[in-house]
């Protein structure tokens, strides 16, 4: 009787221990599932945080923190229940096993309950997650485009250097993009989607600008070399032309009054000085070219071109003056008729559709007629000032043209 009772009670303890172990295994499975679900949800929250800074996303983050605190609480209860009982003890009493089963069962129920909360929270999070994933999908292509642009710019630099072009300034600009690339590689999780995409676009734009500039450098160098040769040739030609101004001035002095040529007296000497300065500037441009200071080369060449243009105009002025004075001396009537034709044409336009001209138009036109008569009268005498006559005719025609323009503007004509 006693032996049978011990076997019966021993079997009952084994059953309670088995029940407790089953409760422990079930609680462990629930704990693992909850932990896995929490890790997955944390990844989703990091995705949202990287892509979305809206108030709704911030509220979701706060909700996740609160949910995490509840998960910590039920996890702590589970761990305490597991630590409180050694179910592998040979002498584990049945009552202790029953107590362990009850605690572990309650812990599992709490774990399952909180997991249900987590799943509902995750379901409510789905619209935010979908939006964030759409935003994040922009990051990888933008990052790859930026890296490809950097590689292309680096390859262009290598190619230029292989041709003997240093390209120091573009190289420095490319190197300055290094910290930006580091931040780009750190990703949207650290810097946010918008900032990361904007950084990628900025790197792309700057790297492409460097690549394009470097790609143009060999052609730019060749163009500068051509301009240097061309400007040196032009400067020498102007020097030779300046030497021929004196004979033209002699002809002007011999045939026309002083008023017709006095303003040209300085041209030969000034031209020689200007050409000498231009040649000095070309020397500076050449040195800048050798040192590959491209911006300085461009500045020097532009200054030389402007100087030679002015010198060319001054040197041409003497011959042009002689040609025009010879023409008007032979036949002043041609210049007069040209001016009178412009006046008559303006008068017809002023009277179109009117019986009486507008005084605003009539007065300057009448004055133009009088100016022509005075200029013609000024040609009488032994040494007429033909240059003053030509300038006066030009000025009269300019005044008439302004009247015509005013009339057409008022009438809406082109």
Return the domain boundaries, the chain: 2-135, 140-220, 223-326, 332-410
Q: What is the pLDDT of residue 226?
A: 94
Mean pLDDT rounded to a whole number for the chain: 85
Q: What is the pLDDT of residue 6?
A: 39
Q: How far is CA 379 from CA 332, 376, 385, 400, in A?
A: 9, 5, 7, 22
* Cα(327)–Cα(335) distance, integer angstroms: 9
Q: Categorise residue 292: left if φ over 0, alpha if ψ from -120 to 50, beta otherwise.
A: left
Contact 170, 210 (CB under 8 A): yes
Q: What is the pLDDT of residue 97?
A: 67
Q: What token pair was written down for 138?
A: 């922009």
Q: What is the pLDDT of residue 183?
A: 87
* Cα(205)–Cα(216) distance, integer angstroms: 17
Q: What is the pLDDT of residue 120?
A: 92
Q: What is the pLDDT of residue 299?
A: 92
* Cα(19)–Cα(155) distance, integer angstroms: 71
How does DSSP classify residue 137? Answer: T
Q: What is the pLDDT of residue 7?
A: 40
Q: What is the pLDDT of residue 357?
A: 81
* Cα(305)–Cα(357) distance, integer angstroms: 49
Q: What is the pLDDT of residue 1?
A: 39
Q: What is the pLDDT of residue 284?
A: 94
Question: For the whole model, what pTM was predicted?
Answer: 0.52
Q: What is the pLDDT of residue 384?
A: 87
Q: What is the pLDDT of residue 102?
A: 83
Averaged in consecutive runs of 10 residues, what is the pLDDT profile of the chain (414 residues)?
Answer: 41 70 85 90 82 78 87 88 68 68 85 91 85 75 90 91 86 91 80 82 93 88 92 93 89 86 88 92 93 89 94 90 90 92 92 85 92 90 86 94 91 68
Q: What is the pLDDT of residue 3?
A: 41
Q: What is the pLDDT of residue 5?
A: 38
């Amino acid at each position: 009787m006693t032996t049978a009772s011990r076997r019966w009670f021993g079997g009952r303890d084994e059953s309670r221990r088995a029940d407790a172990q089953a409760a422990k295994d079930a609680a462990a499975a629930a704990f693992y599932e909850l932990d896995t679900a929490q890790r997955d949800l944390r990844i989703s929250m990091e995705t949202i945080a990287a892509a979305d800074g809206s108030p709704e996303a911030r509220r979701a983050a706060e909700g996740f923190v609160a949910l995490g605190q509840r998960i910590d609480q039920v996890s702590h209860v589970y761990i305490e229940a597991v630590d409180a009982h050694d179910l592998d003890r040979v002498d584990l009493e049945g009552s202790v096993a029953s107590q362990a089963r009850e605690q572990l069962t309650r812990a599992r129920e709490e774990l399952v309950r909180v997991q249900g909360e987590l799943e509902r929270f995750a379901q409510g999070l789905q619209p935010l997650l979908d939006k964030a994933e759409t935003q994040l999908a922009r990051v990888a292509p933008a990052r790859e485009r930026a890296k490809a642009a950097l590689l292309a710019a680096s390859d262009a630099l290598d190619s230029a250097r292989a041709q003997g072009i240093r390209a120091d300034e573009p190289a420095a600009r490319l190197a300055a993009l290094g910290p930006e690339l580091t931040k780009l590689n750190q990703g949207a999780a650290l810097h946010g989607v918008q900032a990361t995409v904007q950084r990628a676009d900025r790197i792309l734009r700057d790297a492409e600008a460097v690549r394009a500039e470097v790609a143009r450098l060999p052609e730019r160098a060749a163009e500068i070399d051509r301009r240097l040769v061309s400007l040196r040739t032009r400067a020498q030609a102007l020097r030779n032309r300046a030497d021929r101004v004196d004979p033209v001035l002699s002809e002007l002095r011999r045939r026309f009054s002083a008023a017709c040529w006095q303003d040209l007296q300085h041209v030969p000497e000034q031209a020689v000085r200007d050409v000498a300065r231009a040649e000095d500037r070309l020397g500076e441009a050449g040195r800048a070219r050798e040192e590959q200071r491209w911006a300085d080369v461009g500045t020097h060449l532009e200054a030389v071109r402007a100087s030679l243009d002015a010198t060319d105009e001054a040197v041409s002025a003497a011959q042009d003056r002689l040609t025009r004075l010879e023409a008007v001396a032979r036949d002043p009537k041609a210049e007069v008729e040209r001016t009178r034709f412009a006046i008559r044409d303006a008068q017809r336009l002023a009277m179109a559709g009117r019986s009486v001209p507008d005084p605003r138009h009539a007065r300057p036109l009448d004055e133009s007629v009088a100016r022509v008569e005075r200029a013609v009268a000024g040609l009488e005498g032994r040494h007429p000032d033909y240059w003053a006559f030509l300038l006066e005719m030009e000025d009269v025609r300019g005044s008439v043209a302004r009247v015509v323009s005013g009339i057409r503007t008022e009438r809406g004509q082109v």
